[in-house]
């Protein structure tokens, strides 16, 4: 399962979550405040262009 980065819309906490590919775009729950967090796509898009929809982690290891 790929790991995605999420950013909480309320407290702006960043965290990583392992999810199935088909659920990656759905909001996750922030581990700190339990609010809705959305997948971060901006930094990976700037590194790779609009290449493939791949997990962020793939380009770091
Ligand atoms: Zn939060």
Query: How does pLDDT run across 5-22, given as a tens digit for each residue?
Result: 999 999 999 999 999 989
The rounded Å distance from CA 36 to ligand 1 centre is 7
- Region 37-51: mean pLDDT is 62
Question: According to the model, what pLDDT value does residue 13 have?
Answer: 96
Extents of the domains making up the chain: 3-59
17-to-7, 49, 52, 58 alpha-carbon distances in Å: 11, 23, 19, 14
DSSP strand E in 1-61: where?
3-8, 14-18, 28-29, 36-39
Segment 35-44 shows an average pLDDT of 79
User: At residue 29, what are phi and psi to the nearest 5 degrees?
Assistant: -100, 130
CA separation (Å) from 7 to 49, 55? 20, 15
- Tell how far the Cα of 26 is from the centroid of ligand 1, in angstroms: 16
Query: How many angstroms is it from 8 CA to the middle of ligand 1?
Result: 5
Which one, of 42, 43, 44, 17, lies nearest residue 29 by Cα?
A: 17
> What is the pLDDT averaged over residues 28-39?
96
Distance (Å) from CA 41 to ligand 1 centroid: 18
How close is the Cα of 16 to the center of ligand 1, in Å? 13
């Amino acid at each position: 399962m790929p790991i995605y980065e999420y950013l909480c819309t309320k407290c702006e906490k960043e965290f990583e979550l392992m999810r199935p590919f088909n659920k990656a775009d759905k909001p996750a729950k922030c581990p700190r405040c339990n609010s809705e967090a959305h997948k971060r796509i901006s930094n990976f898009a700037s590194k790779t262009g609009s290449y493939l929809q791949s997990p962020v982690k793939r380009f770091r290891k």
